[in-house]
Amino acid sequence: MTLATVPASLNLIAAETPLIDVRAPVEFVQGRLPGAVNLPLMVDEERHQVGIAYKQHGQQAAIRLGERLVSGDTKRSRVDAWQAYVASHPNAIIYCFRGGLRSQLAQQWLAEAGVSRPRIDGGWKALRLRLCQRIDEAASQPMLVVAGLTGCAKTTLINQLSNGIDLEAFANHKGSAFGRQPEEPATQIDFEHALAKRLIGLPGKLVIEDESRQIGNANIPLAFWHALQRAPRIRIEMPLDWRLEQLRRDYIEALEQSYTVRYGQQEGWQRMRVQLANALERLAKRLGNARLQRLQRLQDMAFDAHARGNIQAHEAWLAPLLTEYYDPLYRHHLEKHKDSRPVELHVGDWDSCLEAAKQWSI
C-alpha cells in the first residue's frame, strides 16, 4: 500500500490547513503546529510503555507492544476519531514527530477504513524547522519599533497596522508583572510557531512593540531580538491621566471580563484579585517594603470600592505604581543606553505615532 506524503511547506500553515497530530498528548502540550488538533495514536501511558520497550528490546519489540496496546475497541475508537475529523475537514493532513511510524500507521488504518489522507514528510520536526527559519529570515527585514511609557497603548497601535506584529498576543501575556492572563502563557514552541505563522504573509516592513526579550514564558528568538534592538523607533508620549485610563481598561476591566468568562463571576473575581495581588508581591524587592505595603493597602481599598461599582478607584494604586516605579525604570533604561540607543524617527502623541508608523510602512 502506497501512503502519500506532502512536503513540510509553510504553505500548509499559510493556508491554515487542518492538521491531525497523532503524537501523544504530552508532546502536543509542549508545542503543536498551527492549525493542529491532537488525536493521538497512543495516549501518554501507552507511549511511555512503548518507549521503555524500544530502549530495552529494540524497535520491533516496541512495535509489537504498541500493536497490543492499541487494538480492538481502543484501535476502533482512535480510527473513529480520525474519520470523524476528516469527515468535517476533508483536506486534513496527518503528522507525527518525524513523519515516521505513528503517522504511517494512522494513514494505514484510515486507508483500511476507506479514508485516504497524506502525512507530512518529515513530520512536526521538519515543519518546525521551516517555521524557525522564517523567524530568522525576518531578522533581515526592515523593522520599526514602537516605544513609550507603560500605558501608552503601544499594543493597540500595533494592531491598527496591517504589518504589525503583536508579540504579546503570541505569548498570551502582556509582558509585565501584571501581564498574566487567565489562560496559561504560551510555551516557547507555540510562541515561535505563532510568530512564524504571522510572518509568512509579511515579506516587507514590520512594526513591532518595544519588548523585553522574555514575554511570559517565552523568549524572542535571538536573531530576531538582535534585529529589534538595532531597529529605528518611534516613541509615544501621553499624559498620566490618559495612561491611567488605558491601564484600567487593559489590566482591570479586560482582565475581569476574561476571568468572568472563564470561571464565572464569583470565582473569576477572586482569581483576578489574587493575580493582581501576587503581581505586586513579585515586585517586592524592587519596590521596597514600605512602598509595597502602601501599594497593597491602596490596592485592597480599590478592590473594595470596585466591588461597590467604582472601578476608577484602581487609579489610586496604579498612579503611584507608574510614577514611582515603571516610569523611573523606563527613563533610567533610556539614560543608561543613550549612547547606543537606535535612532528615534518620531516622538509624539498616540495619533501622530500611528500616522508615523503608517507613513514608514509605505
Instruction: Record the cell numbers describing residue 32, joined without a space.
Output: 503543536
Q: What is the DSSP string of 319-345?
A: HHHIIIIIHHHHHHHHHHTTTTPPPEE
Q: Return all residues near 27 (Cβ < 8 A) that are at least 6 apart.
A: 97
Q: Return all residues near 66 (Cβ < 8 A) that are at least 6 apart.
A: 42, 46, 50
Question: What is residue 183's DSSP assignment?
Answer: S
Residue 214 to residue 89: CA distance in whole angstroms: 36
Helix axes 188-200, 123-138, angle to 10 degrees: 60
Residue 260 to residue 249: CA distance in whole angstroms: 15
Instruction: Record the cell numbers describing residue 307, joined without a space.
Output: 466591588
Residue 99 to residue 76: CA distance in whole angstroms: 22
Left (φ > 0), alpha (ψ -120 to 50) or beta: where does 148 sit?
A: left
Question: CA dihedral in degrees (156, 158, 160, 163; nearest 10)?
Answer: -160
- Please identify which of the residues 96, 132, 152, 353 carries the catalytic annotation: 96
Mark whether 96 is an active-site residue.
yes
CB 247 within 8 A of CB 266: no
Alpha helices in the chain (DSSP H): 10-14, 25-30, 44-57, 59-69, 72-88, 101-112, 123-138, 154-158, 167-171, 188-200, 222-230, 240-247, 254-263, 265-282, 284-287, 289-307, 315-321, 327-336, 350-361
Strands 214-215 and 218-219 turn out to be antiparallel
Instruction: Record the cell numbers describing residue 296, joined without a space.
Output: 497593597
Instruction: Record the cell numbers describing residue 227, joined without a space.
Output: 534585529
Catalytic site positions: 96
